[in-house]
Amino acid sequence: MKKSILITGGAGFIGSHVVRLFVNKYPDYRIINLDCLTYAGNLENLSDLEGKGNYHFSKVDILDEVALKKVFNDYQVTDVIHLAAESHVDRSITDPLAFVKTNVLGTVNLLNAAREYWQVPEGHLFYQISTDEVYGSLDDGGYFVESTPYDPKSPYSASKASSDHFVRAYANTYGLRTLISNCSNNYGPNQFPEKLIPLCIHNIKNNKPLPVYGKGENVRDWLFVEDHAVAIDLVFHKGQINQTYNIGGFNEWQNIAIVKLLCKLLDQKLGRKPGSSEELITFVKDRAGHDLRYAIDAEKINKELGWKPSVTFEQGIDKTIDWYLENEAWLENVTSGDYQKYYQKHYG
């Protein structure tokens, strides 16, 4: 094998798309999917890869130092793509310590394991996948660029900002070869239905209320997850070492506009009276510290690596809705907790 790449959080939403892309595109790479299978990690996301000779799964928590070192030794890991993280802002507000443990301590454990195993940094890469939320809120217009100062506003973004700082510190102190990319909001197939788009699809289909924070005026830039996976592939193979790349979808939408678009499209697809699903919209008390706007300037990755989104938001959202409507069993399994049964059946 030319490379032995450890992809952490590979059973999660973004991670599963990255694992699938690398396994199928690079048959001469060994891909190790490392995931502790919390509520958001689901091996059903990768059932199509079972039996592939270059794909391996390891159920390990990145907080387990001993288990991490064993994985590096057993699989002779040459590179790391680090996606494992607690990622839901609401959960970080109610349980910030869980985010500190996984996102900060877990990342440092992984950095230590890599540094110890690799000994000499040359020929190895530690690639940290981060978020645009580390930059704070754009209340006065403009865009996040790679040099925008960090100004995290939630426990989640603070934990990701801290882990980014540790990655840069290890590059500076120990000579580790690193990359960081900061992405905007992802959407697409396999996303756990606590996030806005899959939650709305699920609730519209089942005639349940559509909770919208405040007046729904918060703005986010949306990135189709398959486009993000392609960008990660490009950054991993062609990015300049110890650099940062912003990855955005060039799709700014207010939350309320997205919810109304989902209502419109699902009314059409489900054969409902136009406008009927909008009656499900329920405005709720705004989230504490809710950032007004995120927007990424992805000019650097476009100019240096030639990356740009392959679909418009309207195209991507249409594909996403169709996937959820066609995969009702998957959605039922994750909402009921039955997704853990797949692990027990195939690995237990």
Q: Domains in the chain, start-ordered, CATH in brackets?
A: 3-185+223-249+294-312 (3.40.50.720)
Rounded-to-integer distance, Cα 187 and Cα 13, Å: 9
Tens of pLDDT, residues 132-165: 999 999 977 899 999 999 999 999 999 999 999 9
The pLDDT score that the predictor gives to residue 331 is 83
Catalytic residue positions? Answer: 132-133, 156
Rounded-to-integer distance, Cα 335 and Cα 178, Å: 36
Q: Kindly state the average pLDDT of the residues 292-310.
A: 95
Confidence of residue 347 (pLDDT cuts 50, 70, 90): low
Q: Kindly state the average pLDDT of the residues 258-267.
A: 97
Tens of pLDDT, residues 160-215: 999 999 999 999 999 999 999 999 999 999 998 888 999 999 999 999 999 999 99
Q: Which residues of 166-201 are buried (b: 16+ CB within 10 A; e: fewer)?
A: bbeebbeeeebbbbbbbbbbbbbbbbbbebbbbbbb
Tens of pLDDT, residues 19-51: 999 999 999 999 999 999 988 889 999 999 999
Rounded-to-integer distance, Cα 303 and Cα 298, Å: 9
The pLDDT score that the predictor gives to residue 329 is 85
The pLDDT score that the predictor gives to residue 6 is 99
Report yes or no: 190 and 42 within 8 Å, Cβ to Cβ.
yes
> CA of 261: how far to CAs of 31, 214, 228, 318, 330, in Å?
38, 18, 22, 10, 23
For the cut 60, the answer to whether the pLDDT of residue 312 exceeds it is: yes
**How much is the mean pLDDT over the chain?**
94
Confidence of residue 334 (pLDDT cuts 50, 70, 90): confident
The pLDDT score that the predictor gives to residue 139 is 77
More confident residue, 247 or 1: 247
Strand partners, 6: 32, 80
For the cut 80, the answer to whether the pLDDT of residue 342 exceeds it is: no
Rounded-to-integer distance, Cα 133 and Cα 329, Å: 32
The pLDDT score that the predictor gives to residue 348 is 61
Report yes or no: 230 and 189 within 8 Å, Cβ to Cβ.
no
The pLDDT score that the predictor gives to residue 40 is 84
Confidence of residue 291 (pLDDT cuts 50, 70, 90): confident
Q: What is the pTM of this model?
A: 0.95
The pLDDT score that the predictor gives to residue 330 is 87
